[in-house]
Amino acid sequence: MNGDMIGRVIKGRYKLIDERGRGSFATVYVVRDLGDNRIYALKVMHLELSGDGELLARFQREAHILLNLSDSHVVRIFDYGNDNNMHYIVMDYIDGQSLKYYMINQGPMEPLRAINYARQITEGLDAAYKQGVVHRDIKPQNILINSKDIVKITDFGLARGRDTVTLTQSNVFMGTAYYISPEQAESGRSADTRSDLYSVATVLFEMLTGRPPYEGDTAVDIVIKHMNDKVPSICRLRPDLPLEMDAFMQKALAKSPADRFATPQDFNAALEQLTQVLPPPTPQADEGKRGASRTPVPPPAKEARIIVISSGHIIPLNGDKLVVGRQDPTLGIYPEINLADKTVGRRHAYLRNQQGTYTVEDLNALNKTRLNGVTLTPHEERTLKDGDILRFGSVEVRFELR
């Protein structure tokens, strides 16, 4: 799947007009329904993966689960199917950004705002809980916030319901390491709603402090900390928070599910109690707070560039979507960022700018793309931060956002 898909019509009805995001096994497009002229989001599974029975079952499972979930905090599904071996799901188009976008660009949040988002996430999970569904991949990237400040949970691809057949027989954990519960890391099949609530608590921790509760050099390091390390004191990292916040985190991030909040309603009741002891927002925080009655304050514009480490050559990143590659006039290939090295593919990677958030995506290049020494999975979009080191083939560059 690539830019050539733009303009294509799926099932004789859904015209692809823009690419919204790309993951490791599916791409999300903005589409127009030629029947009623409405705008939707359409997720298409990567064609080369359609023969993978387990991934296909995961994709179809997401559609089935969303069809049975109806809640204002869960992205709605309208249609799904298969068009010439292209498996697709048609969903609500959310006019907004992911929670990750605001965390990256605005830093630690005012406490009442962070708790408001956490409560909305938990309300959506309560609807899933009542249907016997466990999301299993709650993280900021899967939380969308629309223009009215309403949270929408998306990406139920790892979710399991009461009657879900186990697809993966190994004990390899699913989800993202920063937000995964100890029991899910040990055995994904043992996760229940308390695991999802653990993930919500890790997201709240990061919203309030600017960092997740556990960090490490590798995913394995982080998972081991989730399983063994003490819960860090959030009040030590952010002294303006009341001690009740520490007590909440100690319970919400307990190693044993039995020691945590049992249901989403219990979790939200505890959040409600926290709002009673939090100090009122400062005028500065109140001015920057997003709300239904307030106009969002955009983050200050920053300039991005990459610097080729071996030569010091500076390349400004001007544009929303730039191809990193190697020029080949014979084939008529002229990437926006030309790295004249034979180890660099002609179309090696994308660098994208989504309203100030920069990402990198490997285009299945022969010599791969690396981010801070980690080889990227082809077509998996990764967020960049100031000072990150990228390697395209043997060419090493530093990303700067100043």
Write down the pLDDT at residue 228. Answer: 94
- Rounded CA-CA distance 177/290 in Å is 28
d(CA 367, CA 323): 16
Q: Which fold has domain 8-92?
A: Phosphorylase Kinase; domain 1 (3.30.200)
Structural tokens at position 155: 């990406």
Are 153 and 124 a contacting pair, CB within 8 Å? yes
Question: DSSP for 305-325?
Answer: EEEETTT--EEE--SSEEEEE
pLDDT of 163 reads: 39
Q: Are 136 and 125 in contact (CB under 8 A)?
A: no
For position 290, what pLDDT does the model report?
Answer: 46
Q: Which CATH number fits domain 96-162+172-277: 1.10.510.10, 3.90.1150.10, 3.30.1540.10, 3.20.20.70?
A: 1.10.510.10
* Sole residue written with tokens 């100030």: 356
Q: Is CATH 2.60.200.20 correct for 304-401?
A: yes
* C-alpha closest to that of 319 among 298, 308, 335, 331: 335
Q: Is the pLDDT of residue 392 over 90?
A: yes
Instruction: Write out pLDDT tens, residues 357-380.
Output: 999 999 999 999 999 989 999 988
User: How confident is residue 278, by pLDDT bands cut at 50, 70 and 90?
Assistant: confident
- Mean pLDDT within 277-304: 57
Rg, the chain, Cα only = 22
Task: State the Cα–Cα distance between residues 352 and 381, nearest whole angstrom.
Answer: 9
For the cut 50, the answer to whether the pLDDT of residue 173 exceeds it is: no
State residue 286 phi and psi, 5-degree precision.
Answer: -65, -35
Identify which has the larger pLDDT, 199 or 175: 199
pLDDT over 90 at 256, yes or no? yes
Structure tokens that stand for 258 in this block? 């039995």
**pLDDT value for 69:** 78
String of DSSP letters for 366-397: TT-EEETTEEPPTT-EEE--TT-EEEETTEEE
Asked whether the predicted pLDDT for residue 21 surpasses 70, the reply is yes
Question: Over 90: is that where the pLDDT of 95 sits?
Answer: no
For the chain, give the mean pLDDT: 85
Q: What is the 3-state secondary structure (H, E, C) of 197-240?
A: HHHHHHHHHHHHHCCCCCCCCCHHHHHHHHHHCCCCCHHHHCCC
- For 373, other C-beta atoms within 10 Å of its C-beta total 9
The ranges assigned to domains in the chain are 8-92, 96-162+172-277, 304-401
Average pLDDT over residues 205-214: 95
Per CATH, 8-92 and 304-401 having the same topology is answered: no
The pLDDT value recorded for residue 2 is 47
- What pLDDT is recorded for position 161? 47
- Contacting residues for 332 by C-beta, under 8 A, at least 6 apart: none
Per annotation, catalytic residue among 92, 126, 137, 196:
137
Q: What is the mean pLDDT of residues 48-69?
A: 75
Residue 286: its pLDDT value, please? 44
pLDDT at 157: 56
Active site residue 4: no
pLDDT at 133 over 50: yes
Taking residues 58-83, what's their average pLDDT? 82
